[in-house]
Amino acid sequence: MTVKNIEIYDTTLRDGAQAEGVSFSAVAKVQIAKRLDEFGIATIEGGFAASNPKDMEFFRLIKKETLKNSKIAAFGSTRRANIAPEDDKGLAALLEADTPVCTIFGKSWLLHVTDVLQTTAEENLAMIADSVRFLKEHGKEVIFDAEHFYDGYKDNPEYALSALKAAADAGADCLVLCETNGGALQEEVAQITAAVVNAFDIPVGVHSHNDGELGVANALAAVNAGAVHVQGTINGIGERVGNCNLSSVIPNLMLKMGLDCLPNAENLKQLRALSQFVYEQANMRPFTKQAFVGDSAFAHKAGMHVDGVRKVPHSFEHINPESVGSKRRILISELSGASNVFLKAIEMGLELDRKSPEVRDVLKQLEQMEKEGYEYESADASFQMLIKKVLKKHQSFFELESFSVTVDRQGATPGCRSEAKVKLSVKGESIEADGSGDGPVDALNHALRDALSQFYPTIADVVLRDYSVRILDPEEATAAKTRVLIESGDGKATWGTVGVSENIIEASWEALVDSVEYKLFLEEEKTRK
Ligand SMILES: [Zn+2]
């Protein structure tokens, strides 16, 4: 028996772009489309053909690219009421987008036809049929998105099905059932999808939303009921709380249900990188607790779990993390036993004997540092530096000679200027650099990176993604210490570092130094391989 193919239809660039706070430039959209193509997504919905010039610009730009796996779809609606398809601006824009696939949405819930669209039941069916036929006559592959299908079917199954029939009879290539409001439960989705699959002999698809936290579950339920086309977005970004998350649907379909949805099963290993890339382009912080691809997806903290995965990985892991390009992480905290430290060292590529005095030394040092206020759970990179230091495998890439920071405000108008000066000794040379920024830490970061970048050009790739501060021991105000956590990234990886001091600038400096040293270690390891 051959494995069934599921067509993955990505709408990150259209429905995903409707998410609060997300706005992709046409160029960013092209970058994302190229990554989706590389990954092996079957169809990429590029945007709303009629609505904005940015989307039309995308359609123009993407034509210049040679895509290996993906077809581009333009999105639009059925013609307006009481007008010929030839005279409809939306349909004209779909043709102008010049894509092989056109996806049009139409009404299948009678309530929407009469109360929202304010037309008649018959005219709506004619709008669907005319629009599909018009696009077919122009040689397009036509996907019909039946908006509010599940709610419409629950309200009036005959009418909902007649909307699909209008599209199918006019030549639609695929009927997509939209769970537009995101409130349906899996059983309903399964039953209704099965009824549609039985009634039509063209492919049926599903487009679900996550309002009931069931976007993925509903898509899988539809597939179980016979759907062969799944729409969603990378990381589930989209309107309100989001769309069906393709970053979860795809591994579930492939690894749990044994279905094929990529041209090459090996591509699944690019999933985490794709997820991170889309977060970068959307200017969003990655959701660390995201299934399959989040930083915490395979992070183990409790000593017993850590011991378990060391002996048998699947004792506490539902899949092999590498199959989706993720990595197992061992979290280090005061709860950690020797197991965690030992595994962390292995994760770092250090040879260590579990019962060796070194592991004990690391534990002792860890205990001491935690007493002083350090916390390593979200500061992996600092922990790695700590181990290297205890094992005397740490090598400094530079030494600090001095730094100074000034913050200057003039008059009553809000707004400060921050300047920093850093003096380092690098490879035997003394070097000085200035930096300015929104705040003192930003200025210090710029000065540090400026000083280092002439010796280590890859430092330029590192960006600070997050900065958080906690005041420790607030009851002893004079001795209060500040803990600074910094999250850095270079577009491929993210890492956390920590610094502690009575002075917030010094704590920040410590975390900054660990962050750049970690990056330099990564680079050095790469050249050694
Ligand atoms: Zn949608």
pLDDT of 348 > 80? The answer is no
Burial class of residue 232 in the structure, from the number of CB atoms within 10 Å of its CB (0-12 exposed, 13-18 middle, 19+ buried): buried
Average pLDDT, the chain: 91
CA of 182 to the centre of ligand 1 (A): 9
> Residue 3 — pLDDT band, cuts 50, 70, 90?
low
Residues with Cβ within 8 Å of 293's Cβ and at least 6 positions away in sequence, in order, are 247, 271, 272, 275, 276, 324, 325, 326
Q: How far apart are CA 152 and CA 114, in angstroms?
A: 12
- The whole-number average pLDDT for the span 207-233 is 98
Q: How far apart are CA 77 and CA 107, in angstroms?
A: 9
Q: State how far the alpha carbon of 249 is from the alpha carbons of 46, 210, 390, in Å.
A: 20, 12, 43
pLDDT of 476 > 60? The answer is no
**DSSP state, residue 413:** S
pLDDT of 337 > 80? The answer is no
Q: Where are the beta strands (DSSP E) in 349-505?
A: 399-408, 417-426, 429-437, 463-472, 481-489, 494-501
Instruction: Look up residue 191 and give its amino acid.
Output: Q
pLDDT of 352 > 60? The answer is yes
Provide, for the chain, the percentages of residues in helix, strand and coil under a 3-state DSSP scheme, each rounded to the nearest 5. 45, 20, 35
Instruction: Provide the sign of the torsion angle of the four alpha carbons 122, 125, 127, 133, taken in this order.
Output: negative
Q: What is the pLDDT of residue 227?
A: 98
Given a contact cutoff of 8 angstroms between Cβ atoms, the answer to whether 484 and 285 are in contact is no
> Residue 479 — pLDDT band, cuts 50, 70, 90?
low
- Of the candidates 528, 529, 523, 518, the one whose C-alpha atom is nearest the C-alpha of residue 495 is 518
CA of 113 to the centre of ligand 1 (A): 18
CA of 298 to the centre of ligand 1 (A): 30
Given a contact cutoff of 8 angstroms between Cβ atoms, the answer to whether 462 and 352 are in contact is no
CA of 241 to the centre of ligand 1 (A): 11
Given a contact cutoff of 8 angstroms between Cβ atoms, the answer to whether 426 and 459 are in contact is no
* Other beta carbons less than 10 A from residue 517's beta carbon: 22
Pairing, β 481-489 against β 463-472? antiparallel
Q: How far apart are CA 501 and CA 486, in angstroms?
A: 14
Pairing, β 43-48 against β 463-472? unpaired
State which H helix or E strand residue 304 sits in.
helix 303-311
* pTM for the full predicted model: 0.77
pLDDT of 362 > 90? The answer is no
CA of 180 to the centre of ligand 1 (A): 6
Q: How far apart are CA 119 and CA 102, in angstroms?
A: 24
Q: State how far the alpha carbon of 205 is from the alpha carbons of 219, 223, 265, in Å.
A: 9, 8, 22
pLDDT tens by residue, 237-286: 999 999 999 999 999 999 999 999 999 999 999 999 999 999 988 988 88
Q: What is the pLDDT of residue 333?
A: 67
* Other beta carbons less than 10 A from residue 434's beta carbon: 13
pLDDT of 101 > 90? The answer is yes
Backbone angles phi, psi at 430, to 5 degrees: -95, 130
Q: How many helices (H) and strands (E) does the chain have?
A: 17, 16
Q: How far apart are CA 354 and CA 495, in angstroms?
A: 25
- Of the candidates 184, 208, 176, the one whose C-alpha atom is nearest the C-alpha of residue 15 is 208
CA of 107 to the centre of ligand 1 (A): 13
Pairing, β 43-48 against β 101-107? unpaired
Instruction: Look up residue 199 and give its amino acid.
Output: A
- The whole-number average pLDDT for the span 85-93 is 96
**Higher pLDDT, residue 146 or 427:** 146
pLDDT tens by residue, 57-82: 999 999 999 999 999 999 999 999 99
CA of 243 to the centre of ligand 1 (A): 6
Q: What is the pLDDT of residue 375?
A: 84
Q: State how far the alpha carbon of 276 is from the alpha carbons of 35, 215, 247, 483, 493, in Å.
A: 11, 20, 11, 27, 9
From 41-55, 224-238, 374-388, 420-434, the region with the lowest mean pLDDT: 374-388
Per-residue burial over 284-315, b = 16 or more CB atoms within 10 Å of its CB, e = otherwise:
eebbeebbbbbbebbbbbeeebbbbbbeeeee
From 239-243, 275-279, 430-434, 466-470, the region with the lowest mean pLDDT: 466-470
pLDDT tens by residue, 285-301: 889 899 999 999 998 87
CA of 432 to the centre of ligand 1 (A): 53
CA of 51 to the centre of ligand 1 (A): 16
CA of 230 to the centre of ligand 1 (A): 12
Q: What is the pLDDT of residue 284?
A: 87
Given a contact cutoff of 8 angstroms between Cβ atoms, the answer to whether 275 and 234 are in contact is yes
CA of 8 to the centre of ligand 1 (A): 15
Locus of tokens 């309903």:
188
Q: State how far the alpha carbon of 458 is from the alpha carbons of 46, 385, 494, 518, in Å.
A: 33, 19, 15, 12
CA of 64 to the centre of ligand 1 (A): 28
Locus of tokens 């990429």:
44
Residues with Cβ within 8 Å of 338's Cβ and at least 6 positions away in sequence, in order, are 354, 359, 360, 363
Q: What is the pLDDT of residue 349?
A: 73
Locus of tokens 């099965």:
194
CA of 209 to the centre of ligand 1 (A): 6
Burial class of residue 437 in the structure, from the number of CB atoms within 10 Å of its CB (0-12 exposed, 13-18 middle, 19+ buried): middle
pLDDT tens by residue, 102-157: 999 999 999 999 888 889 999 999 999 999 999 999 999 999 999 999 999 999 99
Query: Quick check: helix, strand or coil at residue 321?
Result: helix
Q: What is the pLDDT of residue 244?
A: 98
CA of 13 to the centre of ligand 1 (A): 12
CA of 242 to the centre of ligand 1 (A): 8
Q: What is the pLDDT of residue 107?
A: 96
Q: What is the pLDDT of residue 88?
A: 96
> Residue 1 — pLDDT band, cuts 50, 70, 90?
very low
pLDDT tens by residue, 174-208: 999 999 999 999 999 999 999 999 999 999 999 99
State which H helix or E strand residue 144 sits in.
strand 141-147
